[in-house]
Amino acid sequence: MIKAQKLFDQLWHDYISQNPEAKRVYDLLVSEGETVVNDHIAFRTFDDPRISIDILAKPFIDAGYEYKGDYVFEEKKLVAKHYEYKPFRDAPRIFISALQPKYFSPFLQTSVAELIDRIPEKILDASSLIHAGNVWGTPEYDTYLKLKEESEYAAWLYVYGFRANHFTVSINALKKYNDIYVLNQFLKDQGFVLNASGGEVKGTPEELLEQSSTKAGKLDVQFKKGVFNIPSCYYEFARRYPDQTGKLYGGFIAKSADKIFESTDNLPEN
Ligand code: NI
């Protein structure tokens, strides 16, 4: 776990540098006397054997994590796997999804193939791919926009590369705010904007998982033709319920997660 903890610290520091809003939410919860436990950390990749989910999962497997389940998100054309670390109950689940280019336009398929061809061999071979960031070089703004028309996911991955897409606060581990509706209201009262696509709360107690998230903040990103202010990451909140056997549900719901993936879409302009 010590090995994984080092990796988590590294991922968290990178994540809050990309997403200062998450740090503000984190600090706020700590100032309320809460202990912030991560329910899961999510990563993105393209479905290609060179950068597959299994390859990204390697450092976690090496640290003692085990494969726990896989998912298909039909609407978003994603597949995903999740991993858990049994010996330590509060260890975050690892959730890695992969976009399937084969269901998209020839433009997206060609662009993705070219990007992967560009990754230096030594990065592909290393177990550090999971936090290697943008491994395909300074992005083109026009390509970003064109990818975004088809898939927000692909556009995000094109710009930000391999890093945590989001961390997720375990609502179960909170004391004062261990109800998703109470937590959401508190965050909104503090001025945070939540992702309302598909309703602020995705999932129900019957489905054993409720989730919500902030809308992604925006970040100045260097493109070839200049700096543009684009959405970065979001911070997620998850409340889990026990199943019939009394065991806390540990999986992910494909139906509601389709909506969560929209949190990095642009904020409405005002
Ligand atoms: Ni998530």
Q: Identify whether 269 is part of a domain.
A: no
Residue 166: its H or E element? strand 164-170
Q: Identify whether 74 is part of a domain.
A: yes
pLDDT in tens, 16-38: 998 999 999 999 999 999 999 99
**Residue 41 Cα to ligand 1 middle (Å):** 7
Q: Identify whether 214 is part of a domain.
A: yes
Indicate whether 268 pLDDT > 80: no
Provide the number of structural domains found in the chain: 1
**Residue 201 Cα to ligand 1 middle (Å):** 13
What CATH code is carried by the domain that includes residue 207? 3.10.180.50
pLDDT in tens, 66-122: 999 888 888 889 999 999 998 887 899 999 999 999 999 999 999 999 999 999 888
**Residue 40 Cα to ligand 1 middle (Å):** 7
**Residue 42 Cα to ligand 1 middle (Å):** 6
DSSP state of 205: G
Q: E strands of 17-163, at which residues?
A: 38-46, 66-73, 78-84, 93-99
Rounded CA-CA distance 20/233 in Å is 9
Q: Identify whether 112 is part of a domain.
A: yes
Rounded CA-CA distance 185/191 in Å is 10
* Stretch 165-181: mean pLDDT: 97
Residue whose token pair is 């959401």: 184
pLDDT at residue 123, rounded to an integer = 85
When pLDDT is cut at 50, 70 and 90, the band that residue 195 belongs to is very high
Query: Could you list the residue range(s) of the whole structural domain that residue 54 is in?
Result: 2-264
pLDDT at residue 74, rounded to an integer = 86
Rounded CA-CA distance 4/7 in Å is 5
Residues forming a β-bridge with 97: 44, 80
Residue percentage of the chain with pLDDT more than 70? 93
Pinpoint the alpha helices (H) of 72-201.
106-118, 121-125, 141-150, 152-160, 180-189
Rounded CA-CA distance 78/46 in Å is 9
Q: Which two tokens stand for residue 239?
A: 């409340």
When pLDDT is cut at 50, 70 and 90, the band that residue 15 belongs to is very high
Question: Which has the minimum average pLDDT: 68-77, 202-211, 239-248, 261-270?
Answer: 261-270
Longest dimension (CA), the chain: 57
* Burial class (CB within 10 angstroms; exposed 0-12, middle 13-18, buried 19+) of 257: buried
Q: Identify whether 270 is part of a domain.
A: no
pLDDT at residue 177, rounded to an integer = 97
**Residue 168 Cα to ligand 1 middle (Å):** 6
When pLDDT is cut at 50, 70 and 90, the band that residue 254 belongs to is low
* Burial class (CB within 10 angstroms; exposed 0-12, middle 13-18, buried 19+) of 142: exposed
pLDDT at residue 164, rounded to an integer = 95
C-alpha distances out from residue 18 to 15, 59, 163, 269, Å: 5, 22, 10, 21
Indicate whether 261 pLDDT > 80: no
- pTM value is 0.91
